Amino acid sequence: MLRVCMFLCLGLLLFTTGCGLMQNTVKTYYNVTDSVFVATNYFIHPEFEDFKIRRVLIAPFSNETGFHNAQDTLEPIFISEWIKVNRFEVIPSTGDARKQLESFDIREKGTFYKMHLYDIAKRYNVDAVMFVALTSYSPYEPCRIGINAQLIHTYSGVVVWGLNEIYDGSQRNVENLATQYYYENVRFSHPLDDWEIMMISIRYFTQMVAFDVGGTFKDYYVPPRLDKTIVNAVNLEKKISAKPLFP
């Protein structure tokens, strides 16, 4: 009888300890106790809809950082995330189109010939071209990506959207943005990771940046919460209040 009682006590102890470990390792929510990064240094044309942009050709990313192959790593991730935004058809540049767009060098020269852009519009049946320059980059913890981008209407030469931002993982508000992105977009597809993977993996960090940048050329940009927030990672409850740019 004594031996049976000892086995029962030992089993109860192991069960209780196991439950305690599960409580420590399984997270159901996260807290954001200070501000979340919001992209503010961007422009969207007030008559964006009137340009009727349906097909966008992505020019080769230019690289202004000390990492010579950074554009090769980041460009396909940005394109993949922008396709998910479903704002317009995103077309990666290849072959002759890629070579032709590389000669524009809009970032350095600050000008371009409208006829060259018009020729691209006719040849590849696109309504706009996206020019992107990487201005800052660090693939190591904490990750950092700086981006300068312009979306130019091919028939008029008008800049209909532009952005210039740096997502620096050493800043608390960017860390909070990464945490929020992880629980809302990554956690259930990668349940064994924790949100810190966003600050260590340049692939995950780039996905977050591309996703946030893509949000600025939707019909309107809904920024993350700025006040103290508790987000349930199971129900993914959102309490975002923002006025749209285009009511």
Residue 10 lies in a domain: no
Residue 6 lies in a domain: no
Q: Which two tokens stand for residue 203?
A: 């692939």
DSSP state of 223: P
Given this model, what pLDDT does residue 205 score?
96
Residue 215 and residue 39: Cα distance in Å, rounded?
9
* Torsions phi, psi for 150 (to 5 deg): -140, 135
41 Cβ contact partners less than 8 Å away, ≥ 6 residues apart = 163, 164, 165
Given this model, what pLDDT does residue 191 score?
60
Residue 57 has pLDDT above 80, yes or no: yes
212 Cβ contact partners less than 8 Å away, ≥ 6 residues apart = 37, 39, 167, 177, 181
Q: Which two tokens stand for residue 42?
A: 């961007």
Read off the pLDDT of residues 127-154 as tens digits, 9 standing for 90 and up.
Answer: 999 999 999 999 999 999 999 999 999 9
Residue 19 and residue 149: Cα distance in Å, rounded?
50
**pLDDT band at residue 21 under the 50/70/90 scheme:** very low
Residue 120 lies in a domain: yes
Q: How many domains does the chain have?
A: 1
Residue 235 has pLDDT above 80, yes or no: no
The answer to whether the beta carbons of residues 175 and 169 sit under 8 Å apart is yes
Given this model, what pLDDT does residue 198 score?
87
Residue 177 lies in a domain: yes
Residue 243 lies in a domain: no
Residue 6 and residue 29: Cα distance in Å, rounded?
38
Given this model, what pLDDT does residue 115 score?
86
Residue 209 lies in a domain: yes
Beta strand pairing call for 55-58 and 89-92:
parallel
Mean pLDDT, residues 201-225: 79
Given this model, what pLDDT does residue 188 score?
67
CATH code of the domain covering residue 170: 3.40.50
The answer to whether the beta carbons of residues 160 and 151 sit under 8 Å apart is yes
Whole domain around residue 103: which residue ranges?
29-232
Residue 237 lies in a domain: no
Residue 144 lies in a domain: yes
